Amino acid sequence: MLSYRHAYHAGNYADVLKHLVLARTLEYMTSKDKPLLYLDTHAGAGGYHLGAAMAKKTAEFEEGIGRLWGQPLPDVLTPLMAVLRTMNAKGALEHYPGSPLVAAQLLRSQDALRLFELHPSDHRLLIERFSRDRRVRVERSDGFASLKALLPPASKRALVLVDPPYENKGDYRQVLKAVLEGYKRFPTGTYLVWYPVVVRARVDDMVRGFKSAGVRNLWQVELGLGPDTPDFGMTSSGLFMINPPWTLPGELKDALPLLQNLIAPEQGRWQLNQLTGE
Ligand code: SAM
């Protein structure tokens, strides 16, 4: 049963970290001429209106992108903020991009986007949004299976975003299995794997899984609103980054204290770890 709708969470602090890393990585990877495949295993609706009922109901964006809009920000956010300014040309923050829109704006004519989304409503929204963009192919099928099906890409260059809802705990194992399958087929690809910190042990299991499978050049970045707790609910979120741009960890290290200060000045926290070397 698919109950998750990303529209309730669009622009929250987890989206901001995920999308700033995605946008900066895309900017870096498109500085070479060769075509790039962007593979989004769990694409969502593509973009979100922050004034719509679902976004307003939780108003999570107010504690995320709302805290950054109009502020001086570190350079690592420049590509994401450029996408946001294009979407909000009148100046007020009304629209927030999903990962497909971030990618579509930063990719070039020679690149390709493959978007997977199972929810019928979000799938329809994706189809409508990208129907005229010939670089984009939208599929209503299991995004986990796409790693095996599409890797390695003909162009030998790919950025893979794995961003499931983690509605049940089996998702953690499924993410690990699918990413390792993709990595085995295509170890030089760049992979961004989002995770929530609800139960820390599940994240630690993923770290052990990646390490014991021999994944190289693996990094972990995290931003949180408060300390881990045994209570239910997400306190932090992060990304595993395999083969990120070599400049990115340094940029994140410089930017995270400021971001944490803007988003969660009292109890917030961040971490950046290199889990395995190249
Ligand atoms: N990546 C999006 C972004 O950053 O804007 C957000 C994606 S949201 C966290 C996760 C999405 O995955 C939901 O829209 C959900 O319907 C979809 N989904 C869940 N299971 C899936 C599966 N096995 N394959 C493809 N999509 C799935």
pLDDT tens per residue, range 192-212: 999 999 999 999 999 999 999
Q: State in Å: Cα 254 to ligand 1 middle.
A: 30
Question: Is residue 231 annotated as part of the catalytic site, yes or no?
Answer: no
**Which residue of the set 163, 171, 228, 254 is catalytic?**
163
pLDDT, average across residues 103-110 = 98
DSSP 79-99: HHHHHHHHHTTTSS--EEE-H
The chain-wide mean pLDDT, for the chain, equals 96
Q: Which CATH class is domain 6-276?
A: alpha beta
Query: Is 143 labelled a binding residue?
Result: yes
Measured CA distances, 262 to 70, 146, 257, 258 (Å)? 12, 37, 9, 6
Q: What is the pLDDT of residue 245?
A: 98
ipTM associated with this complex = 0.99
Pairing between β-strand 136-139 and β-strand 158-162 as defined by DSSP bridges: unpaired
Question: Ligand 1 centroid vs 147 CA: distance in angstroms?
Answer: 15
Tell me which of 2, 6, 129, 193 to substitute to probe ligand 1's pocket, judged by most ligand atoms within 8 Å of the beta carbon.
6
pLDDT of residue 8: 87
In the chain, where are the structural domains located?
6-276
